[in-house]
Structure 1
Amino acid sequence: MTARSHIPFAMCLWWIFSLVMGYPITGHSSVIAGIGGLMPDLDHPKSALGRRIPLVSDTISALFGHRGITHSLLAVGVMILVLMSITTKPEYQELNWMVAPLCIGYISHIIGDSLTPSGVPLLYPKKKNYSLKVFKTGSLLEFIIMGLLTIFLVTIGGVGQQVYQQILMTFQQNLAF
C-alpha cells in the first residue's frame, strides 16, 4: 500500500477500535493513528517518514531491508513494551493517550500490506510472507478501496468533516507526499 492509503486505513481502524473500546475519537488521536500507519515503512528511505528521518530509516533499511522486522508481530510487541515502559514513568504519563492510536495505526499498516501480493513477514525472523493478495500496491483497486474508506471516514465515521479537514491539513503541512 502507499502512504496515501495507509493513513485513511489507519484512521478507519483506529475509529472502529475506539468505538468498540469506548475511547474518544479526536483529531489528535486520529493524526497519531495516521502516523502509526506510516511507521513500519521507516525501513524504506524513500517512504513518507523515511525521507524525514533519514538516519533512522537508512539504519533500519541497512540492517533489515524493506518489509522485514518493522512489518512483523515482533516489532509490534517491542513497540508496545517500549511505549508502555516510557509512559508509565510519572514524567511521561501525560503521553499515555498516544499509545493506543499509535499501536493501532502501526498494526493497520501491517494488515494493509498483508493485502498486497508481497505480503508481510508476520513471524519475523521467519522468512515466510503472509499475503491475502487482494490488490497490488498503487493499483486502481487500492485507490477505489481507500477512496471508499475516506468517504466512510468523512461521512459515517463518527467524526465531523471539520475534524477530518484538520487532520488532512496537518498531514499536508507536515508530511508532504
Structure 2
Amino acid sequence: MTGKTHIMGGIAATTAYAYYSNYDPTALIISGAIGSIIPDICHGGSKIGRRFPILSNIINAIFGHRTITHSLIFLVLIGYILTLITDNQSIIMGVVIGMASHLILDACTKNGIKLLYPASVTVRLPITTKTGGAVENIVLIALTIVTIYLGKEFIL
C-alpha cells in the first residue's frame, strides 16, 4: 500500500477506536497517523524512509523490507518503548493502532508481510491487491468515508 493509504488507514482505525473508547481523540488520531507510517522505516522510498534515510538504510541493510518492522515483535517493541517515554495512553494506543493498521493493509498485498518474524512465513490475507492499483484507491476512499462518518462525532 502507498503512504497515503497507510496514513488514512491509521486515521480511520484510531478514529474508530476513539469513537468507542474514552481516549483523547486528537492525540489518538494524530498518533495513529504517525504510527501508520513507522513500519515502512525499512524502505528508503517511503514517507518515513525519506525523512530518516540513514536509519532507513541501516534497517533495510540488516533486515530487508517487510520483515522485522512488519512483525508482531516490532509492534510490541515500539509499544514498550513508548511506555518508557510517555505515560499518555492516547499516544501509545494511537501509535500501536496505527502500526497495526499498516500491517493489516500490507497483508492485503500480493507480497504480504513477515508478521511472525524471525520466522520466514509470509502472511497474506485471502484477498490481495497490487500496491498503487485501482483496488487500493477504492480502499482509500472507503477508509476516508469511515473516518468522516465516525469523526463527525468529535466535530459536533
Normalised by the size of structure 2, how large is the TM-score? 0.90
| Cα offset, 1:17, TM superposition | 1.7
| Cα offset, 1:31, TM superposition | 2.2
Partner of 1:45, secondary structure, is coil
* Kept after mapping to 2: 8 A contact 1:122/1:130: yes
Letter in 1 for 2:11: M
| Cα offset, 1:45, TM superposition | 0.7
Q: Does 1:122 align with 2:121?
A: no
Could you tell me which residue of structure 2 aligns to residue 169 of structure 1? none
From 75, 88, 91, the equivalent of 1:98 is 91
Unpaired segments ≥5 residues, structure 1: 88-92, 163-177
RMSD over aligned CA atoms reads 2.0
The size of the alignment, in residue pairs, is 155
> Runs in 1 of length 4+ with deviation above 6 angstroms?
none
| Cα offset, 1:151, TM superposition | 2.5
From 132, 140, 150, the equivalent of 2:144 is 150
Alpha-carbon distance in structure 2 between the residues aligned to 1:136 and 1:46: 17
Letter in 2 for 1:82: I
Alpha-carbon distance in structure 2 between the residues aligned to 1:17 and 1:30: 9
| Cα offset, 1:41, TM superposition | 0.2
Unpaired segments ≥5 residues, structure 2: none
* Kept after mapping to 1: 8 A contact 2:106/2:113: yes
Q: Does 1:73 align with 2:72?
A: yes
Alpha-carbon distance in structure 1 between the residues aligned to 2:153 and 2:15: 12
From 134, 140, 147, the equivalent of 2:134 is 140
Letter in 2 for 1:142: E
Letter in 1 for 2:65: H
Change (3 A) 1:20 1:108: same
Normalised by the size of structure 1, how large is the TM-score? 0.80
